[in-house]
Amino acid sequence: MKFSCLIRSSLCLARALQLQSCDDAVDQSKLHLLVLSPRESSLGQLVRNQVERECPGDYEIVYLQASEGVSIEQAIHHSVRKNGSRLLCFYHQQGDQAFEQSVFSGSKVLTLWIKQEAEIHDGGASLIPVMRSPSSTVKSFFEIRGWTFRDPVTWPDDDFSSQQLSVKIDEIAAQSDSPVSHQVVLSDLGALDARHSHYEISRSLILDQTRHFVVIARDGTSYAEVLSTAIQKAANRVAPSMERQERIDLANDLQMGSELNLEFIGLMAAASMLASFGLLQNSASVIIGAMLIAPLMTPILGAGMALTQGNRPLFRSSLFTIVLGFLSALISSMIFGLLFTVFREPVITDEMWARCAPSPLDLCVGLVGGIAASYSRTRRHLSSALAGAAIAAALVPPIATAGLQIVFMEWSVSLRGTPVLGPLLLVSVNVLTIMIGSSFVLWIRGMRQEATSNHPWVLRSLASLALLVIMILIWMLQPVVFA
């Protein structure tokens, strides 16, 4: 099995070579040493000379340093993926807990975080698993080295403290005749999230001065991560990820376009009045003209980007702009409706009734429109005007329909649809689906931030949006169910 090992000192090198020498399949394995020091440094020369002299199997030495725009942690994970290693291990050093935690939590392969203060020879250790039995991969890794496993220490509940865990470990260690230094505490976290209480307690074992040997294992390849990686690879084959400067420019454009200004309010009012005229005249061509001038795309895409990046201020700003833009469009259509009643009798046209009976198929308009709009904004050679028109088609005419029906006092529900409420629900579900679709595409195209993309606020927001869509969808399906 290919495995990588971080080398930060001569002691780390000795431990790594000890792991390699214990491997029965050494002729089939490949040792991947990640030296966090320049090649010309004393550590770099020591690694090169000692590995050539003592390592009987195949090996590769990579010298890593942080560079502009790339942290040392990112360089480590990139090198592990490039090498094809299935396991990453590194040893604890005093004062480096923050760095070690960053490497441990960000790894996408099986990772061992090891605290080893005493040298243990082949077959001279007894492992005490905590929380649960180790996975088959972790178990086989240590069994090859002749280490024996004891019964795991189970955790009764989430309130189980590190002090209680230490007491239980001491009780089990006292039952063995082996030296205490040979009692290895093993915590296999699987794919647990870094915010989990078990994760915190396991990390405290590393800092426990009474523990001579502690191993914390984490399998970074959870199902969600595997799926997201597969989606990213497939998307990159269709369209490569955006360059850094392109991402910065797009983020600045969406952030500036998501701020409320008089120009946005004026264009929304003009688009709503033009749409109202087209609805009253039963003219599809005039309604299409109203779609072309509505500036709705930018703030909705800004909200989608905020969900992708976990940017709460941007999400609040975008949402505020969207809400006031809709209010201005609704009021403008009501004013236009009042002016219309001065000259003619109110009438509900076929174009208006068409937007009073939303159906599940209308969900596709917002979802596909959001996907198309966000994708076109990330590709400079594509025009975003048509995608913006598709978004406006899903939003402006329904708002104008609701405003006109309010002025005309049309509240009666008929077989043709539900006035006012139907158009407003159609607008709501389209906004939600556009946000969800655009956030997905922007995430695929590289507009995400790894530190915040899995933030609880992002997950809660997406879950809330999805719940609202489902509730509106249930309302839409009521006529079909009762029929």
Is 225 a member of any domain? Answer: no
Among the three residues 91, 115, 138, which one is the final residue of a domain in this structure?
Answer: 91
pLDDT in tens, 389-412: 666 666 888 999 999 999 999 888
The predicted pLDDT at position 483 comes to: 44
How would you classify the pairing of strands 126-131 and 153-154?
Answer: parallel
The predicted pLDDT at position 331 comes to: 94
The predicted pLDDT at position 28 comes to: 44
CA–CA distances in Å: residue 386 to residues 246, 267, 275, 298: 21, 17, 17, 13
Is 333 a member of any domain? Answer: yes
Nearest to 429 by CA among 482, 361, 343: 361
CATH number of the domain encompassing residue 294: 1.20.1080
The DSSP result for 289-303, as a single string, is: HHHHH---HHHHHHH
Distance separating alpha carbons of residues 318 and 399, to the nearest angstrom: 18
Is 36 a member of any domain? Answer: yes
Among the three residues 91, 110, 137, which one is the final residue of a domain in this structure?
Answer: 91
Q: Exposure of 31 by Cβ count < 10 A (0-12 exposed, 13-18 middle, 19+ buried)?
A: buried
**Amino acid letter for position 300:** I
The predicted pLDDT at position 402 comes to: 93
Is 170 a member of any domain? Answer: no
SS3 sequence of 81-128: HHHCCCEEEEECCCCCHHHHHHHHHHCCCEEEEEEECCCCCCCCCEEE
Work out the percent of the chain whose per-residue pLDDT is above 90: 8
Is 33 a member of any domain? Answer: yes
359 contact partners, CB below 8 Å, separation of at least 6 = 476
Among the three residues 24, 59, 91, which one is the final residue of a domain in this structure?
Answer: 91
Nearest to 475 by CA among 436, 391, 399, 418: 418
Is 117 a member of any domain? Answer: no
Is 96 a member of any domain? Answer: no
Give this prediction's pTM: 0.54
- In the chain, the number of structural domains is 2
Give me the domain span that covers residue 326: 239-482
CATH number of the domain encompassing residue 69: 3.40.50
Nearest to 437 by CA among 397, 394, 475, 398: 394
Is 338 a member of any domain? Answer: yes
How would you classify the pairing of strands 58-63 and 30-35?
Answer: parallel
Residues of the chain where predicted confidence (pLDDT) is lower than 70: 1, 19-30, 55-58, 68, 118, 120-124, 154-162, 172-182, 192-197, 221-241, 381-394, 448-459, 474-483
